[in-house]
Every structure is written in C-alpha cells, then in structure tokens.
Amino acid sequence: MIYLDANATTPVDPAALDAMLPFMRDYFANPSAGHAGGRTAARALHRAREQVASLLGAHPEEIVFTSGGTESINAVHASVRSLWPESRELVITGTEHAAVIESAVRWRKNGGTVVHAPVHSDGRVDLEALRSLVKPGITALVCIMWANNETGVLAPMREIVEIAHSAGALVHTDAVQAAGKVPVDVKSVPVDFLSLSGHKMHAPKGVGALYISKRVRFEPLLLGGGQENGRRSGTENVPGIVALGVAADLAQQHLNDGTKARIHAMRDRFEHVVHAAFPEMRIHGSLTHRLHNTSSFCVPGIDAAGMLILLDKVGIACSAGSACHTGALHPSQALEAMGVSARDAACTLRFSFHRFNTKPEAETAARAVIEAAMKMRAEMGEGELVSVS
C-alpha cells in the first residue's frame, strides 16, 4: 500500500513505539501511586510534558494530556462557556473540523451564540470581516484552526490573535494538523488555548494534548481523581503520552532537518504530474499558505467516490475531501464555505503525505491517479464528457 492519507492518521514512528512499549510491559504502575513504579511512570509523564511543551514553545505546566484533538477542543469550549457566561459569543469559520462545529452546536444549546467568520475562496479567513465580528464584552472566544485538514490552508494566526485580543476575546486554535508539521510557537503567536492530537504526528491514536496559557482560567471537562493538576481527571494513558513526547521531539527535529522540504517537493511533484495530464485540475486553497504535505484538488467531472475505489484497488490510500463519516460521503462543509461548487466538491480527492513516503511513491500515485481518471472518463458517455470540459 502507498499510504497518502496522513491527515487522517499517521503511522506510528518506530522510535515512539519503542519508547511506549516498556510502559505497557514493565513500567505499568499508576503514575499517581506512591511507590517506585508509580514514580517511574510519573517521571515519564514529566519528560513527555517537557517534550510537548518544547514543541510549542510553552511551559510544561501549560500542557494537559487528553485523549486527543476532539477532547481538547470540547474541553476548551465547555470551559470558556462556563467561566465567561456574560460574554456569549463564539466565533468560528465554516472550515473548522467537526469537533469544533459540533461543540459550537452545544455552545448554542447552552445559551450562547455562534457566528461564522467568512473565508475567502483560498480558504483563509477574511480578517476584515473577523475584525467587525469580534466585539468587546460580547465575544468570549475565537476558535480558528491553524491548518485545515482538508486543504492544508494555513490561517493567519498572528493577525487572528491580535484582532481577538484587542477586543478582549480569548483564542483557541485547533492545531491538530499544524503541530509537528509547521512551526507552532505560542510565544510568538500567543493563543490562549491550543489543541493537538498524537495520531496526526506519528504517535498512537487516543492521546493528545491541550495547551492552556498560564494567563487564563480553566474549568475541567472531566472530573474525578484530579490528575493533570486538576485539569483532566482520569488515569493518564502513560504509554501513549510517552509516545507523544517522543513524537513531539522527533517532529521538532524534523522541522529543521530538510524533511519538510523533501515532503514539499514530493507533494509538488505529485501535483505537477497530475496537472500535466489534466490541465483542468483545480487545487483547493491558497497555494502560498498551505501545508507542504497536503494536496486537495478536483478534476471536474471525475467522481471522487469512483476514484477512491479504483485507487484502493491498486493499493493507493487517499481520501475524498475529508467528509467521510462511517463510510458515507457527505458534501464537504469546508469546501462549500470556500465557494467550491457541490459538483467540484464531489470530484475532490485529498492526498496527504508524511515523512515515511518516498519520491517514487509520489510518482506511482500520480500515475495511478491519471490511469484511474482516464478509465473513468473512458467509461463515461460522450455527453457527460462534453459537459465536463
């Protein structure tokens, strides 16, 4: 299989796996226990907290381990809604992940209001519109993703923070797709909350982190034994957290060692080859402010669902937009928010590369896309072909 679906999940890095296994086999004690085994596990948590904090330019005590991106996001929204009841409004964009969209629904159910900041056709938030939407005393939280999971579009986070903070609003960013791929530094971009997920950065599934700035108050979503300094109860997933720490360390190294440029070149080569065969191919999102690993595009008239089947048959794993829930394809809300037509959205494929991919894989995948698309065209009637061009 050529795995080009890294924005859905990544393979666990062997070093992260090696680091976590002893904490399943040998050092399995509860990190809250007072004996030597417990202290070993607690020390491992401490180290992982330092590693994740270092990736983000944060203080270790600002990191709370969670079960992943979804939990981190939900915890922030629940906390802000509860602690700042007088500021009712949540500002999001239409390109957010379902975890944000759905927790915004609950925000509304809990008496708050939600407004959508529009995005331009390149997927970047309209900063002027955002400025007019964020209101002192009314807006509690601005929640905008750092990098989009479908298109890879990178948000102007610094400007977003400046706009929100100048109106006294807090900022939460879903950095699940950004953390480990691009520099994410809370000192230069002083968000108040940041969510990340282990399985998007070569750690296992079921572990993540939430950055909570020292400046802000926080009310835990999960109550119980008071773990994580009272901010997230529940016995910690020590093996997963150890792996996340190692993954954060590795990600930090790979930000500066040419890995990013290598993935970038692979992705660009892939797009170039497909584009040469299908000049009508349209890449979604900003070409300049885009994750180096992500390629979301449509070849108008070539149905993505059919392409997925053909590509799967030849061992290429990719996805259609990102809107695949429990096996069913739904129109992508993110593409819709960018003004992409329903027809083009239905013809959209997403390829997302990771550091274990190779250039020959990118070449093979591009040729497989071309072959599959040609096959689909050949199977379509003349009439449809005419309407396509």
**Binding footprint of ligand PLP on the chain (CB under 6 A):** 68-70, 97, 99, 145, 149, 174, 176-177, 197, 208
CA atoms within 13 A on the CB side of 66: 27
**Cβ neighbours of residue 82 under 8 Å, at least 6 residues apart?**
219
Least Cβ distance, residue 57 to ligand PLP (angstroms):
20
Least Cβ distance, residue 236 to ligand PLP (angstroms):
16
Least Cβ distance, residue 95 to ligand PLP (angstroms):
10
What's the Cα-to-Cα distance from 306 to each of 4, 258, 309, rounded to whole Å? 17, 36, 5
Q: Is 298 marked active-site?
A: no
Cα separation, 314 vs 307, in Å, equals 11
Q: Are 81 and 110 in contact (CB under 8 A)?
A: yes
Cα separation, 322 vs 319, in Å, equals 6
Output 69 or 180, the one with its CB closest to ligand PLP: 69
Cα separation, 263 vs 292, in Å, equals 7
**Helix/strand/coil percentages in the chain, nearest 5:** 45, 15, 40
Output 178 or 299, the one with its CB closest to ligand PLP: 178
Cα separation, 94 vs 101, in Å, equals 8
Output 99 or 246, the one with its CB closest to ligand PLP: 99
**Counting Cβ atoms within 10 Å, is residue 150 exposed (0-12), middle (13-18) or buried (19+)?**
buried
Q: What is the 8-class DSSP label of residue 258?
A: S
What six digits make up the tokens of 150? Answer: 């479908």
Least Cβ distance, residue 60 to ligand PLP (angstroms):
21
Say if strands 193-197 and 208-212 run parallel, antiparallel, or are unpaired.
antiparallel
Least Cβ distance, residue 293 to ligand PLP (angstroms):
13
Output 73 or 373, the one with its CB closest to ligand PLP: 73
Least Cβ distance, residue 319 to ligand PLP (angstroms):
10
Least Cβ distance, residue 371 to ligand PLP (angstroms):
29
Q: Are 204 and 58 in contact (CB under 8 A)?
A: no
Least Cβ distance, residue 174 to ligand PLP (angstroms):
5
**Cβ neighbours of residue 366 under 8 Å, at least 6 residues apart?**
269, 270, 273, 274
What's the Cα-to-Cα distance from 133 to each of 126, 155, 164, 290, 352, rounded to whole Å? 11, 17, 10, 25, 33
**Counting Cβ atoms within 10 Å, is residue 8 exposed (0-12), middle (13-18) or buried (19+)?**
middle
**143, 298, 324, 347: which one is catalytic?**
324
Output 247 or 372, the one with its CB closest to ligand PLP: 247
Angle at 298 between CA 293 and CA 300, to 5 degrees: 165
Output 179 or 362, the one with its CB closest to ligand PLP: 179
Q: What is the 8-class DSSP label of residue 380?
A: S
* Catalytic residue numbers, as ranges: 324
